[in-house]
């Protein structure tokens, strides 16, 4: 078995030169040239020589720049390709000579990551130049609502921008997902059957048959040597189409996007590609049986894939199916590498080669047993890390860059390389500074989002994950490149955690109307309900309608039968001999802007809590304290005062509170980790969960022993019973603005 990243290229010194010797591999009836640039390099060396001579000749630089033809773009997208390519070292048996040769000439970004670990959201992000947490495209989008969005997508995608600036845009294969190719591009060659030929109907498989009775989305996952020739594969046909286009004369600079499907499931390619990887020689990943023991409960639930191959089945009979699965994936990667080589060879045979920017990337990674799964759909390294190579026409010797970059950076990079106007809507950064110097100053971390409010951040050294409920993971890739040891609870890493927390997205857009609601597991099924997917994105469930307590229950889930009543349009808690108990909303709320009115009896004490969740046996949340300040002095420890963020932040002492027999107006705004408390029109508390000031106050509060207190991004609203008569009315709740 192998340790896939024992010599992890992500943490080696940046700027390391890469290259390789010329060699060939026999694949059945064909030879794969490991260095396809043997016939390309003379052209580029000639071009580089001309550039060198011209650079020393006297000339008018402005005139020369204006006369230079705009560069072409060859944009190669590969589906589901992880770091199992030779230049990234993800698997010691990977055979990807053509991709490696491209890396040996351009810049290979060894720490590149997708912004979403499934096809649709990843491609929506990289093609729109916007993060998923900005657009709300977290799930696979439908084909109707994405192109209907003229604010963020329609007319704004990368190829559409190039078309507006005089480029001829062409595509073949899979480039978009949920957005029609014939809208995104001026000319589209087709997908040639999508995922490729199948052995029969949907239920006919060679190795793996999913349990179709499970109420979750399915998978084409299977592996076998099939069909009998490359010519029947969509990727081969897509390469043929691209080669034909490259051989034509173009009156404009072209943007040619070539989308290859393999190694997307099913892992089917002809037998000759399997023959390169004898089954009895296959090395499989090392998979600790207890690998998931130190991850939060939500991590296990979020990453469950019930219809996908399970680890026990894969490892039965001395890892028989896991070994076959790994063999098939390696065969698929070499097959698609060959198609890449065919296209690159065709480009090299044309005059356009001297003026074409080449970009090659995968839309996300893939697990092959690691973290007990065979799938993408995840926030761990295997699902987010991707090959990313950028090669400028003048590049001739390869570099590596280990800075944390993302596919989000491709849009601004290509605009810069092609001399097109910068676009303010782009949320990534141009990679050109790193192309010039891989040690240039760069962002601290790049982000990946899987499901709303679940984010992974990857820096040069660490991976940090924050889940919707506030749970966290932290991995040190210098000492733990396989992410086997979660350091989030380690006190020695608190400063590192703090830096990551500050780098988290500040806003999580609601789900885009294009969101499809087929869940992959039970957690997502519940999440779609909790986040009201498919409902009006501007509305939240009413807190109180002024008539009944139907939206409320006791904190133990039982119906309200005592203490709390509706009187004259207000929720009233009557003071009795015994406390009735706290009540909570039946709905959960994440980000919100909540206004309400209240009054309290003399000597009273109550409060409205929000983002309430269970911490062990306790239901806790942040609290807007409501108290008779005149009867209960601030000097009494732990009591707080009206408007306080209870036990953590005291309000401005100059706030104005109405007399006891009058209602006060309060407002709570919760936006990601930022909290505001307002009282009678005045902002009296402004706090950020998890920043140094918050952590300092938390450490000396009554909640100091509650791990992750208030870091959850979703929860119920609670009205507390502290034995005092209190009234609440006129609740209004909306989604907060971004500012």
Q: Which residues are catalytic?
A: 119, 177
Tell me how far apart the alpha carbons of residues 202 and 397 are, in angstroms, rounded to a whole number.
47
Tell me how far apart the alpha carbons of residues 281 and 160 are, in angstroms, rounded to a whole number.
47
Handedness of CA 488, 492, 498, 500 (dihedral sign): negative
What 3-state DSSP class applies to 392? coil
Chain centre distance of CA 124: 11
Choose among 198, 454, 233: nearest CA to 334: 233
Tell me how far apart the alpha carbons of residues 83 and 67 are, in angstroms, rounded to a whole number.
40
Choose among 11, 3, 1, 6: nearest CA to 401: 11
CA distances from 28 to 92, 344, 390, 512 (A): 21, 22, 31, 47
CA distances from 137 to 71, 123, 131, 533, 676 (A): 32, 10, 9, 11, 27
* Inter-residue contact 253 to 75 (CB < 8 Å): no
Token pair 């943007």: residue: 255
Handedness of CA 653, 655, 660, 665 (dihedral sign): negative
* DSSP codes, 260-287: E-TTSSSEEE-HHHHTTS-GGG---B--
Token pair 């070539």: residue: 258
In 249-382 the beta strands, taken as DSSP E runs, fall at 254-260, 267-269, 356-362
Tell me how far apart the alpha carbons of residues 15 and 20 are, in angstroms, rounded to a whole number.
16
Chain centre distance of CA 212: 28
Tell me how far apart the alpha carbons of residues 416 and 423 are, in angstroms, rounded to a whole number.
10
C-beta neighbour count of 289 within 10 angstroms:
9
Tell me how far apart the alpha carbons of residues 690 and 467 are, in angstroms, rounded to a whole number.
14
In 424-550 the beta strands, taken as DSSP E runs, fall at 446-449, 455-458, 462-466, 472-476
């Amino acid at each position: 078995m192998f340790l896939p990243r024992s010599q992890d290229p992500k943490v080696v010194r940046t700027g390391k030169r890469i290259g390789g010797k010329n060699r060939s591999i026999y694949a059945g009836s064909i030879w794969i040239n490991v260095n396809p640039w043997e016939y390309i390099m003379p052209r580029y060396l000639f071009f580089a020589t001309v550039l060198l001579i011209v650079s020393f000749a006297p000339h008018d630089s402005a005139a020369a720049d204006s006369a230079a033809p705009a560069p072409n773009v060859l944009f190669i997208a590969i589906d589901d390709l992880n770091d199992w390519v030779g230049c990234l070292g993800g698997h010691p048996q990977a055979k990807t000579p053509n991709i490696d040769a491209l890396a040996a000439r351009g810049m290979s970004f060894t720490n590149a990551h997708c912004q979403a670990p499934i096809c649709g959201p990843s491609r929506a992000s990289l093609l729109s130049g916007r993060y998923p947490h900005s657009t709300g495209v977290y799930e696979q989008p439908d084909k109707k609502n994405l192109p209907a969005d003229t604010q963020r997508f329609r007319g704004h995608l990368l190829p559409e921008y190039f078309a507006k600036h005089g480029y001829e845009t062409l595509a073949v294969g899979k480039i978009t997902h949920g957005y029609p190719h014939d809208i995104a591009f001026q000319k589209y060659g087709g997908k040639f059957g999508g995922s490729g030929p199948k052995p029969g109907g949907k239920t006919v498989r060679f190795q793996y048959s999913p349990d179709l009775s499970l109420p979750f989305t399915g998978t084409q996952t299977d592996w076998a040597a099939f069909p009998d020739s490359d010519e029947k594969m969509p990727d081969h046909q897509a390469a043929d189409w691209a080669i034909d286009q490259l051989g034509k004369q173009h009156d404009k600079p072209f943007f040619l996007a070539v989308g290859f499907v393999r190694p997307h499931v099913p892992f089917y390619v002809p037998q000759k590609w399997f023959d390169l990887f004898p089954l009895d020689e296959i090395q499989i990943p090392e998979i600790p049986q207890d690998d998931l023991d130190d991850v939060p409960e939500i991590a296990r639930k979020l990453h469950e894939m019930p219809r996908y191959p399970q680890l026990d089945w894969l490892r039965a009979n001395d890892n028989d199916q896991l070994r076959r699965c790994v063999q098939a994936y390696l065969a698929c990667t070499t097959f698609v590498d060959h198609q890449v080589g065919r296209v690159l060879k065709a480009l090299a045979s044309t005059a356009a080669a001297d003026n074409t920017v080449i970009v090659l990337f995968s839309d996300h990674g893939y697990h092959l047993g690691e973290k007990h799964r065979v799938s993408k759909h995840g926030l761990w390294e295997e699902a987010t890390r991707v090959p990313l190579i950028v090669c400028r026409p003048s590049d001739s010797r390869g570099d590596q860059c280990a800075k944390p970059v993302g596919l989000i950076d491709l849009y601004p990079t290509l605009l810069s390389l092609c001399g097109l106007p910068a676009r303010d809507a782009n949320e990534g950064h141009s990679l050109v500074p790193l192309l010039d110097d891989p040690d240039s100053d760069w962002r601290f971390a790049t982000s990946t989002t899987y499901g709303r409010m679940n984010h992974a951040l990857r820096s040069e050294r660490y991976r940090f994950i924050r889940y919707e409920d506030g749970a966290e993971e932290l991995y040190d890739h210098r000492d733990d490149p396989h992410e086997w040891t979660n350091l989030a609870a380690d006190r020695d890493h608190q400063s590192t955690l703090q830096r990551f927390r500050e780098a988290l997205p500040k806003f999580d857009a609601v789900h885009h109307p294009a969101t499809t609601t087929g869940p992959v597991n039970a957690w997502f099924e519940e999440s779609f309900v909790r986040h009201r997917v498919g409902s009006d994105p501007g509305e939240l469930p009413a807190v109180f309608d002024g008539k009944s307590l139907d939206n409320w229950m006791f904190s133990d889930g039982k119906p309200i039968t005592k203490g709390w009543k509706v009187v004259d349009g207000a929720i009233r808690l009557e003071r009795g001999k015994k406390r009735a108990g706290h009540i909570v909303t039946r709905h959960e709320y994440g980000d919100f802007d909540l206004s309400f009115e209240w009054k309290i009896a003399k000597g009273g004490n109550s409060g409205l809590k929000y983002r309430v969740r269970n911490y062990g046996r306790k239901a806790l949340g942040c609290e807007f304290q409501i108290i008779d300040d005149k009867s209960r002095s601030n000097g009494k420890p732990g009591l707080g005062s009206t408007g306080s963020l209870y036990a953590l932040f005291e309000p401005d002492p100059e706030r104005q509170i109405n007399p006891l027999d009058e209602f006060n107006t309060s407002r709570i705004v919760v936006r990601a980790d930022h909290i505001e408390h307002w009282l009678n029109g005045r902002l009296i508390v402004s706090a950020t969960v998890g920043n140094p000031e918050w952590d300092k106050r938390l450490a000396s509060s009554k909640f100091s022993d509650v791990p992750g207190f208030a870091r959850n991004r979703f929860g119920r609203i609670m009205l507390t019973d502290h034995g005092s008569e209190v009234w609440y009315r006129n609740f209004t709740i909306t989604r907060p603005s971004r500012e």
